[in-house]
Amino acid sequence: MNNRVAQRFTLLCLLFLQACVYVPRTHVTRDPDCIGLLHHMTLETDGQFNDFHVLCNSSNQDACAALLVAGGAVAATSFIISGSIVMAGNVVYWMERQANCKR
């Protein structure tokens, strides 16, 4: 496998992993004001892109720059998609709490 094919394969893998950089997580706690549970979503990083220095060697600066640009695009796309899921989920959980909480 030559270097150019390896670079394209790596970039393709990064594009398919766009939903894995930022991950929406749901946290459940007991609600002190109401009877029931309180749900809350947060956006957390998965930590997969912490090892770019291993992929980038000093011999091929163009490939390293392309890899970093692709990684940034993947991270931005993941942030937008997962962030939208978190915002929508928190709105739904807030509406559910307003409807079910009897104060």
pLDDT tens digit string along 12-45? 665 565 546 788 899 998 887 777 788 899 988 8
Residue 28, C-beta contacts closer than 8 angstroms, at least 6 positions apart:
37, 38, 39
Looking at every residue in the chain, the average pLDDT score rounds to 77
pLDDT tens for residues 44-62? 886 665 555 556 665 667 7
Average pLDDT of span 70-99: 87
CA separation for the pair 77, 6 (Å, rounded):
23
pLDDT, residue 99, reads 83
